[in-house]
Amino acid sequence: MLWMKRLLESSAITRALPVVVITAFALFASPSRAESTGGTPPVDASPHESGRWTVDFRVGVGFDVTSLSGVMVSSYTPTLQFSESGTGIAGQTLALDSGSAPALTLGIDLWPSRRAGIQLLVDWTSADIGGSSSPYSIRLEYEARQPPDYEPRQYVVERTTPWPDPSGELQRLTLALNGLTRWDASRHVAVTLSGGVTSTRLTGDLDSLGFTSFRLGGHSVLFSEEHRVGMELDPVWVTGFDLGATIEYALSGRVALVAGYLYLGGSDARVPVHVRDVLNPDEILVPMSVSDIEAALKPGTVRIESARSRVYAGIRFTVH
Same domain, 294 and 193: yes
Q: For residue 90, what pLDDT is reported?
A: 96
How many C-beta atoms surround the C-beta of residue 93 within 10 A? 15
Q: Give residue 72's pLDDT band: very low, low, confident or very high (50, 70, 90).
A: very high
Rounded to an integer, the average pLDDT of 32-49 is: 47
Same domain, 104 and 191: yes
Question: Does residue 92 lie in a domain region?
Answer: yes
Same domain, 79 and 162: yes
Same domain, 25 and 137: no
Question: Does residue 42 lie in a domain region?
Answer: no
- Read off the CATH number of the domain in which 181 is found: 2.40.160.20
Question: Does residue 226 lie in a domain region?
Answer: yes
Q: For residue 148, what pLDDT is reported?
A: 87
CA dist list (Å): 6 to 10, 64, 104, 153:
6, 21, 15, 60
Question: Does residue 190 lie in a domain region?
Answer: yes
Q: Give residue 98's pLDDT band: very low, low, confident or very high (50, 70, 90).
A: confident
Same domain, 23 and 59: no
Q: Give residue 7's pLDDT band: very low, low, confident or very high (50, 70, 90).
A: very low
Distance CA 56, CA 120 (A): 10
Same domain, 211 and 239: yes
Residue-wise pLDDT for 234-293, tens only, equals 999 999 999 999 999 999 989 999 999 999 998 899 999 999 999 999 999 999 999 999
Residue-wise pLDDT for 168-193, tens only, equals 999 999 999 999 999 999 989 999 99
Same domain, 27 and 59: no
Same domain, 209 and 284: yes
Q: For residue 285, what pLDDT is reported?
A: 92
Same domain, 18 and 138: no
Q: Where are the beta strands (DSSP E) in the chain?
A: 54-64, 68-76, 80-81, 87-98, 102-111, 116-133, 136-145, 152-161, 167-184, 189-216, 222-250, 255-265, 269-278, 301-304, 308-319
Question: Does residue 139 lie in a domain region?
Answer: yes
Q: In this structure, are residues 176 and 196 in contact, taking their beta carbons and an 8 Å threshold? A: yes
Dihedral angle, C-alpha 6, 8, 11, 17, nearest 10 ° = 140
Residue-wise pLDDT for 195-246, tens only, equals 999 999 999 999 989 999 998 888 888 999 999 999 999 999 999 999 999 9
Rounded to an integer, the average pLDDT of 83-112 is: 89
Give how many domains the chain has, as a whole number: 2
Angle between helices 11-28 and 2-9 (to 10 degrees): 80
Q: Taking CA 263 as the corner, what is the angle to CA 257 and CA 266, rounded to the nearest 5 degrees?
A: 150
Query: Containing domain of residue 169, as a range?
Result: 50-319
Q: CA 118 from chain center: how many Å?
A: 26
Q: What is the DSSP letter of 51?
A: T
Same domain, 162 and 202: yes
Question: Does residue 313 lie in a domain region?
Answer: yes
Residue-wise pLDDT for 124-145, tens only, equals 999 999 999 999 999 999 888 8
| Whether the predicted pLDDT of 65 surpasses 90 | no
Same domain, 239 and 130: yes
Distance CA 192, CA 309 (A): 17
HSE-up of residue 177 (Cα within 13 Å, Cβ side): 3
Q: What is the DSSP letter of 298?
A: -
